[in-house]
Structure formats: C-alpha cells, structure tokens
C-alpha cells in the first residue's frame, strides 16, 4: 500500500463516518463550566501542553460526582472496579482516539517511561487503545513505534486499497443476493487483530493478564452506549475499539455489536475514574483551531469531511478534558485522521515527546501533592 494515498480517495467513506458521529454524539450535553487551568510554558511553539485542572477537592474523586456531571444517557457497560483501595493515589493514563494523530501517544509514553512516572491503569479508545494495549502487553514505546511504523501495520489495517474495494463493491453484493447478509462495512478487520496479537508476547494476549491493567473502550451499536472491554483477546478488543464505521465492519463480542469507541467516548476519562483512578493523565490528540484555516482550503476536493470529523471529536472531548487532572495536548494540527504518510506519523510522535516533556513538572507536582494528603 502506498504511503501517498490522498484524502480525495477517502472522502466518500469519511462522509459516512461523519454521519455516524453526528448520530451518536447528539445525546451529549456540553453545558459545563470550564475549570481554571494551568498551562506550563510550551517547548518551542507547541501550544496547550500539559494543561492541568486546579484541584479544588480531596485527592479521592467521589463516584457520585462523576455520575452527576457525566453527559446524560451514556452509562458505560462492562466496567469492573480494577483498582483496589490502597494507601497511594492510583494514576490512570487515558489515551484518546485520533487515527494517525494517535502516534503522539507513543511519544508521550516514551517520556513517561524514561522518567519513571508511575502508571497503575491504562484506558484507551481507538488508536489510543492500540498504543495503550501494546504498552500494557509489555512493549516499550520504541517497540510500539517500530510496530506501528511498519508497512505491515498499514497493510493489516487496510488489507485491500480502498479504491479497489469500492470498485469491486458490486461483486461483494453477490452473497447478499444469495441470502447471506454480513455486517455493513468494507473490511472485517480480522487480519488487523491477528497482526496486533502477533505484536504482543504470546503470554500477554488476554486483557485480564496485562500489567498494568488495561481497558479498551468501544461503542455498542445496539444501544449506542460506550462499552469497556476489560477481558478477552487483546487483538479482538483493539479491533473493536478502532472499527471506524463504514470502513470496518462491527465486531460482535458477548452479545454486543462494537464499533469505534470515538463515537461515544473518544477521551475515556469518565471510564478511568469509574475504574478506580484517583489521578488521571489524559492525552488529547484533537486538533486545535487557532489559527483558523483560510477559506480557500475548503475548495480542495475532500477537504470538508476530515475537518468536520475533527470538529465532532473536539466537541465530544471538550467535557472529558474538564474531568481529567492533567491534560497533555500535543500539537497535531494538519495531520489528518487516516493519513498514511510516514512523515505525519513521525510529526505526531515528536509532538507527543515535546508535549510530555512540557507536562512533566505539572505531573510531578500533582503526584507529590496527592501523596502529601
């Protein structure tokens, strides 16, 4: 698969994804007060690095506060209490969805590893789930970078070039004419799940065995609710959490029909809190919109759908960022969600490294303050 695939080829598919996002995100209530935040000085010109919510309460975050402030109509299925009560504050790393921009998560992980920041739980959505799941399976940030930067990764994700798949679409309709009705979508994603399983050690392919504990978040098409996957096969869970609507077929797991978690919980902060986290470090890989794009940008073929998707994700994540203790926001502007350009992935990775370095003082101050209670 060429690394030079253009957004023009993706635009019909992404428009369908936009419609799916619009349908599910309509239930979100975005009316909430923005907390006072602290922004550490950015490295170079990278903006919004290491934003931290000012803590106005005790270290322990009460569950009833989460339930009261959470957007209505979105309880999370499948959430056990993974973190046991203890004498030290439990730290959760939350990795949001964002496609190619999610390579920034690897850069963040590298800095957290090098500086021995304690992580007791990892919760991820879509690309965040892929990076987080492999990390909890024992892979270092450098190993994850190598796996996801490998041409085999792209080939597993996109087994047949999308234009070819669309061209042979009429042939794929033959089974339906014969009475066999598969789930809607261009790809099953089974090869992708196998690739991810092969990337993890053989002893680390069941989620319940991972250390630190890991949870992947997906969306259940049957009831529209976010679903936490805390047990079962790792590759299968990551396949479900990253199953972009229309592009990939839904994944049936335990009576649920799962698609990309970004539709209902793109930055799964609430899920981490419900799992028992006291301190949440969230990595938000949404674009920012300052400066605004020029009007002529949207005269380009295929320019509107990716912009609309980014706007939808930013809207979904706005409330979640107010519920995290520390938000690391790498500068991933101008990297499209499904870019297959190697340089875009590298740019996102470096942005993650830069943002995490800027956030380190805030992280250590928060941890020290919490331990003092």
Q: Would you please indicate which residues are annotated as catalytic (active-site) residues?
A: 126, 260
Structure tokens at 167: 């061209």
Task: Please tell me the total number of residues recorded for the chain in this structure.
Answer: 373
Which of 195-199's residues contact partners 24+ apart within 8 Å by CB, and which partners? 195/152, 195/153, 195/156, 195/235, 196/130, 196/133, 196/134, 196/156, 196/234, 196/235, 196/238, 196/239, 197/233, 197/234, 197/235, 199/134, 199/137, 199/139, 199/147
**Residue 135, class by beta-carbon neighbours within 10 Å (0-12 exposed, 13-18 middle, 19+ buried)?**
buried
The rounded distance, in Å, linking the Cα atoms of 220 and 347 is 32
Q: Are 126 and 155 in contact, with CB atoms under 8 Å apart?
A: no
Mapped onto helix, strand or coil, the DSSP state of residue 283 is strand
- Select from 132, 108, 82 the least CA-distant residue to 271: 82
CA distance 241 to 19: 18
In whole angstroms, give the CA distance from residue 88 to residue 37: 24
In which element (H, E) is residue 122 found? strand 121-125
Q: Classify burial at 372, counting beta carbons within 10 Å of its beta carbon; exposed 0-12, middle 13-18, buried 19 or more.
A: exposed
Cα separations in angstroms, 217 against 122, 171, 227, 231, 248: 11, 34, 6, 12, 16
- Tell me how crowded residue 64 is: count the other CB atoms within 10 A of its CB: 7
Cα–Cα dist 169/184, whole Å: 12
Cα dihedral 328, 331, 337, 342 sign: negative
């Amino acid at each position: 698969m060429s690394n030079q695939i253009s957004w023009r080829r993706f635009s019909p598919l992404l428009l369908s994804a936009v419609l799916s996002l619009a349908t599910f995100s309509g239930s979100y209530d975005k009316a909430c007060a923005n907390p006072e935040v602290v922004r550490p000085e950015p490295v170079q010109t990278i903006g919004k690095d290491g934003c931290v919510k000012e803590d106005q309460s005790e270290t322990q975050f009460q569950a009833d506060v989460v339930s009261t402030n959470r957007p209505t109509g979105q309880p999370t299925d499948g959430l056990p209490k993974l973190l046991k009560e203890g004498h030290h504050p439990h730290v959760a790393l939350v990795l949001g969805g964002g496609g190619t921009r999610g390579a920034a998560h690897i850069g963040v992980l590298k800095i957290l590893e090098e500086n021995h920041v304690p992580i007791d739980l990892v919760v991820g959505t879509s690309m965040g789930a892929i990076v987080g799941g492999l990390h909890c399976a024992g892979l270092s940030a450098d190993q994850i970078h190598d796996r996801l930067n490998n041409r085999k990764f792209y080939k597993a994700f996109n087994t047949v070039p999308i234009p070819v798949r669309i061209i042979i679409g009429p042939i794929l309709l033959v089974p339906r004419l014969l009475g066999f009705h598969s789930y809607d979508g261009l790809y099953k994603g089974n090869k992708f799940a196998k690739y991810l399983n092969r990337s993890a050690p053989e002893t680390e392919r069941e989620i319940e065995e991972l250390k630190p504990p890991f949870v992947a978040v997906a969306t259940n098409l049957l009831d529209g609710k976010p679903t936490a996957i805390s047990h079962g096969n790792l590759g299968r869970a990551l396949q479900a959490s990253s199953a972009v609507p229309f592009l990939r077929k839904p994944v049936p797991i335990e009576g649920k029909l799962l698609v990309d978690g970004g539709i209902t919980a793109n930055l799964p902060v609430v899920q981490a809190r419900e799992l028992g986290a006291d301190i949440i470090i969230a990595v938000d890989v949404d674009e920012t919109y300052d400066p605004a794009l020029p009007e002529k940008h949207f005269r380009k073929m295929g320019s509107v759908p990716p912009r609309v998707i980014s706007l939808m994700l930013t809207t979904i994540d706005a409330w979640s960022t107010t519920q995290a203790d520390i938000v690391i926001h790498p500068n991933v502007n101008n990297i499209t969600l499904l870019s297959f350009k190697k340089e875009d992935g590298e740019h996102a990775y470096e942005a993650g490294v830069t943002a995490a370095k800027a956030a380190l003082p805030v992280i250590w101050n928060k941890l020290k303050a919490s331990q003092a209670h």
